[in-house]
C-alpha cells in the first residue's frame, strides 16, 4: 500500500472520530481549566486520543476484532456489550447527537425567530440523513469522499479559525474554575470520555481494516502495521486540533462566562471574523458532524449485517439512518442528558478490556482473569453511571466515596485491579490443580 493511501486512510479515520463533542469539549476545558490548562489537556488527550488509538490497535491484533476480545469474558457478554456499544455510538445516541448539533450550529443561528424551527429541523435532518445514506451505501468510496475531499476542507477551516484566534486573542489564561483547582489531570481524563472516540474505535476498527484490505494488503502483521500508522496520523491531527481549540477557549475565558463549548466557539468566531466567523463555525460543525455520522452508520451497517445474516448491509444502513433521523428531531438536550451516565459506565469496561488485551499473553488468555476483572469493574462502573445520573443514595453508593480516586470519578480503578489480581490468583490455582491431577493420573 502506498504511503499516500495510508495518509488518506488516517485522515478518513480522523474525520470519523472528529464530531460534535471533539469541537465542544476541548474549548470548554480550556476556558474552565485556566492556568491548569496543560495538565487538564494532557488528561483529555490520554482518553480522547491515546485510548481510541490503543483500542484500534488492540482490535487489529485479534481476528474478528472487538467481538473476539469480548468473547474472552463470555460469548454472551461479548454480544450484549457490543450490541449496546453499537446502538449507543450509532442510532440511539451519537448519531442523533451529531445531527442535532450540526443543526444547532450550522442552521439555527441564521433562521428568523418567527420561523417554525421544528419544521426547519425536520427538513434539514431529512436532507442530512439522505446524503449520509447515499454515501454510506458504498463503504469502499469512504476514503475517497472523507479522506481526500472532506477532511482537508474541514482541517483548513479549523486552521483558519485557530490562526486568527492566536493572532487576535492575547488575553492570559485565567484562574481555574473550582472543578479544576485540584486534580486537573484527572478532570481532563474524565472529560475525554465525552468524545466517545474509544467506543467509536471499537466499531471503526472494522471499517479501517476493510479499507486497508481493499488495497490488497493481506497478512495479520501488515494489517496491524498499516492500522497503527493510520491511527497515529489520526491521533496527531486530533491532538493538534484539541490543543488549538483548548487554547482558544482559555483565551476567551476573560471575555465573559460561558455555559458550554458551543457558546465559547460561537463568541470567538463572531469576535474574530464577525458574521463570516459564524458562517465558518457553522460550516466546521456541519462537516465534522456529517463525517462522524457517515463513519458510525457504515460501522453499524457492517456489524449488524454480519450479526444478523438475514439483514443486508443496505437494510441496516437504512434502519440506522431512519432511527437517527427520528431521534434527532426530539432535541439535543435530552440526548446529552443520557450520554454522560452511559459513558461513565461504558468507558471503564472498555479501558479494562483493552488493557487486558495488551497483557493477554502474561496470564495465558485466562477467562478467569477477564471475568473477575470485568465483574469488579462493572459493579463500580454501573454505580458511577448511577451517580452521574443523579442517584447518590444507598449504602453502596456511599461506600464508593471512600474508595481511592473516587473524588476524581475513578472509583472503579482499585476494584478493577483487585478483580484482576483475584482472577490471576484463581487462574494460577486452577493451573496448579490441573498439573497435580495430571501427575496423579500418570502415577496411578
Helix, strand, coil shares of the chain, percent, nearest 5, are 85, 0, 15
User: pLDDT-based confidence at 160, cuts 50/70/90?
Assistant: very high
Q: Does 207 fall in a domain?
A: yes
Question: What is the model's pLDDT at position 393?
Answer: 66
Residue 53 forms part of a structural domain: yes
For residues 367 and 323, membership in a common domain is answered with no
Q: What value does the mean pLDDT take over residues 256-264?
A: 85
Percent of the chain with pLDDT over 70: 92
* Same domain as 137, residue 73: yes
State which of 332, 349, 381 marks the end of a domain: 332
Residue entry with cell 474509544: 198
Whether residue 96 is found in the same domain as residue 169:
yes
Residues 203 and 134 in one domain: yes
Rounded to the nearest integer, the mean pLDDT of the chain is 85
Q: Does residue 11 share a domain with residue 68?
A: yes
Higher pLDDT, 337 or 88: 88
- Judged against a pLDDT cut of 70, whether residue 300 lies above it is answered with yes
The predicted pLDDT at position 188 comes to 94
Q: Specify the pLDDT at position 312.
A: 93
Structural contact between residues 187 and 307, judged by C-beta atoms closer than 8 angstroms: no
For residue 434, being part of any structural domain is answered with: yes
- DSSP label of 50: I
CATH number of the domain bearing residue 220 = 1.20.1740.10
Domain span at residue 415 reads 359-444
pLDDT digits (tens, 9 = 90+) for 219-247: 778 888 999 999 999 999 999 999 999 99
Question: In sequence order, what are the residues at sequence separation of 6 or more whose Cβ sits closer than 8 angstroms to the Cβ of residue 86?
Answer: 203, 299, 300, 303, 304
Question: Considering the domain boundaries, does residue 187 fall inside one?
Answer: yes
Indicate whether 190 belongs to any domain. yes
Identify whether the C-beta of residue 71 lies closer than 8 Å to the C-beta of residue 78: yes
C-alpha cell at 129: 440523513
pTM: 0.82
Place of cell 499473553: 361
Are both 297 and 373 inside the same structural domain?
A: no
Are 428 and 317 part of one and the same domain?
Answer: no
Provide CB contacts within 8 A for 303, sequence distance 6+.
Answer: 82, 86, 203, 206
Final residue in a domain of this structure, among 332, 348, 367: 332
For the stretch 64-113, pLDDT in tens is 677 888 888 998 998 888 888 888 888 888 898 889 888 888 888 888 87
Is there a single domain that holds both residue 378 and residue 259? Answer: no
The predicted structure's pLDDT at residue 392: 67
At residue 441, the pLDDT reads: 47
Based on the fold, state whether residues 389 and 328 are members of the same structural domain: no
Can you give the pLDDT at residue 361? 83
203 and 272, same domain (yes or no): yes
pLDDT band per the 50, 70, 90 thresholds, residue 347: confident
Flag whether pLDDT at 419 surpasses 70.
yes
User: In the prediction, which pLDDT does 332 show?
Assistant: 58
Same domain, 62 and 191: yes
Residue 338: inside a domain: no
- What separation in angstroms does the CA of 209 have from each of 61, 64, 172, 214, 297? 11, 10, 44, 9, 16
pLDDT for residue 397: 67
Q: Where are the alpha helices (DSSP H) in 192-331?
A: 197-213, 220-252, 261-273, 275-307, 313-328
Specify the number of domains making up the chain: 2
In a domain, 165, yes or no: yes
| 326 plus 442 within the same structural domain | no
How many whole angstroms from its chain centre is CA 366? 28
Measured in residues, the chain has a length of 444
* Closest C-alpha among 344, 57, 82 to residue 194: 344
Average pLDDT value for residue range 10-18? 88
Find the range with the poorest average confidence among 55-59, 201-205, 220-224, 336-340. Answer: 336-340
User: Final residue of a domain: which of 288, 314, 332?
Assistant: 332
> Residue 310 falls within a domain, yes or no?
yes
Q: What is the DSSP string of 121-145?
A: HHHHHHHHHHHHHHHHT-GGGHIII
Name the least confident of 33-37, 112-116, 163-167, 324-328: 112-116
Amino acid at each position: 500500500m502506498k504511503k499516500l493511501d495510508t495518509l488518506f486512510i488516517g485522515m478518513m479515520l480522523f474525520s470519523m472520530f472528529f464530531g460534535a463533542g471533539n469541537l465542544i469539549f476541548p474549548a470548554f476545558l480550556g476556558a474552565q481549566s485556566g492556568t491548569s490548562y496543560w495538565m487538564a489537556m494532557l488528561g483529555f488527550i490520554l482518553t480522547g486520543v491515546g485510548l481510541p488509538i490503543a483500542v484500534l490497535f488492540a482490535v487489529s491484533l485479534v481476528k474478528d476484532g472487538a467481538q473476539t476480545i469480548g468473547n474472552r469474558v463470555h460469548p454472551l457478554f461479548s454480544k450484549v456489550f457490543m450490541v449496546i456499544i453499537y446502538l449507543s455510538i450509532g442510532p440511539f445516541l451519537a448519531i442523533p447527537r451529531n445531527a442535532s448539533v450540526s443543526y444547532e450550529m450550522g442552521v439555527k443561528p441564521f433562521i428568523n425567530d418567527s420561523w417554525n424551527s421544528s419544521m426547519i429541523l425536520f427538513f434539514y435532518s431529512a436532507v442530512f440523513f439522505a446524503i449520509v445514506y447515499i454515501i454510506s451505501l458504498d463503504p469502499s468510496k469512504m476514503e475517497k469522499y472523507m479522506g481526500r475531499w472532506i477532511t482537508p476542507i474541514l482541517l483548513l477551516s479549523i486552521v483558519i479559525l485557530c490562526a486568527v484566534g492566536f493572532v487576535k486573542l492575547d488575553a492570559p489564561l485565567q484562574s481555574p474554575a473550582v472543578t479544576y483547582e485540584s486534580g486537573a489531570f484527572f478532570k481532563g481524563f474524565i472529560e475525554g470520555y465525552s468524545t466517545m472516540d474509544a467506543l467509536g474505535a471499537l466499531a471503526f476498527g472494522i471499517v479501517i481494516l476493510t479499507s486497508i484490505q481493499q488495497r490488497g494488503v493481506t497478512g495479520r502483521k501488515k494489517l496491524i502495521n498499516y492500522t497503527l500508522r493510520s491511527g497515529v496520523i489520526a491521533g496527531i491531527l486530533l491532538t493538534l486540533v484539541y490543543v488549538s481549540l483548548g487554547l482558544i477557549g482559555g483565551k476567551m475565558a476573560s471575555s465573559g462566562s460561558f455555559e458550554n463549548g458551543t457558546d465559547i466557539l460561537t463568541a470567538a468566531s463572531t469576535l474574530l471574523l464577525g458574521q463570516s466567523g459564524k458562517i465558518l463555525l457553522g460550516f466546521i460543525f456541519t462537516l465534522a458532524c456529517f463525517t462522524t455520522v457517515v463513519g458510525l452508520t457504515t460501522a453499524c451497517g457492517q456489524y449488524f449485517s454480519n450479526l444478523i445474516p438475514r439483514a443486508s448491509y443496505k437494510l441496516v444502513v437504512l434502519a440506522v439512518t431512519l432511527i437517527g433521523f427520528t431521534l434527532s428531531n426530539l432535541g439535543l438536550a435530552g440526548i446529552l442528558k443520557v450520554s454522560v451516565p452511559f459513558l461513565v459506565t461504558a468507558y471503564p469496561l472498555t479501558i479494562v478490556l483493552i488493557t487486558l488485551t495488551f497483557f493477554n499473553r502474561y496470564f495465558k488468555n485466562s477467562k478467569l482473569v477477564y471475568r473477575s476483572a470485568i465483574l469488579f469493574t462493572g459493579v463500580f462502573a454501573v454505580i458511577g453511571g448511577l451517580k452521574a445520573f443523579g442517584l447518590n443514595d444507598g449504602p453502596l453508593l456511599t461506600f464508593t466515596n471512600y474508595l481511592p480516586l473516587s473524588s476524581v470519578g475513578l472509583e472503579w480503578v482499585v476494584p478493577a485491579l483487585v478483580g484482576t489480581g483475584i482472577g490471576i490468583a484463581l487462574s494460577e490455582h486452577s493451573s496448579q490443580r490441573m498439573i497435580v491431577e495430571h501427575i496423579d493420573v500418570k502415577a496411578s
